[in-house]
Amino acid sequence: MAKALHEMADADLHKLIDDSRSQLRELRFQFGVARSLPNPASLRTIRRTMAGALTVLNERKLGIATQKAATPGKAGKAEKKKAEPKAEAKAEKKPAKKAKG
């Protein structure tokens, strides 16, 4: 989700924040009336989405971060194969055990 937020434009982030606030308000009202929610975890998800969007906007305002270009599909994930070199490094570090004879 964080990568998606960094790829969004400022106007889209503001719209996401406004939508999240209205959803949160509606869920809180629904909880106040009915004293239950169909999915209580949705409150947490909405709050975290809103916090992430506000963080990205604040970082941009302070000059810490800029809008990143969207990555096409799974191309970014294919490049991150660090598990293979670690396995090879471990194999090189372990000395071979000598057979008792």
The pLDDT tens digits of the residues spanning 35-54 come to 888 899 999 999 999 999 99
| Other CB atoms within 10 A of residue 7 CB | 14
This prediction has a pTM of: 0.64
Residue-level pLDDT at 70: 72
Residue 16 maps to which CATH number? 1.10.287
Residue 27 in any domain: the answer is yes
Residue 96 in any domain: the answer is no
Q: Which tokens in the block code for residue 47?
A: 């709050």
Domain limits at 19?
2-70
Give the chain's domain count: 1
CA-closest candidate to residue 67, choices 1, 10, 2:
10
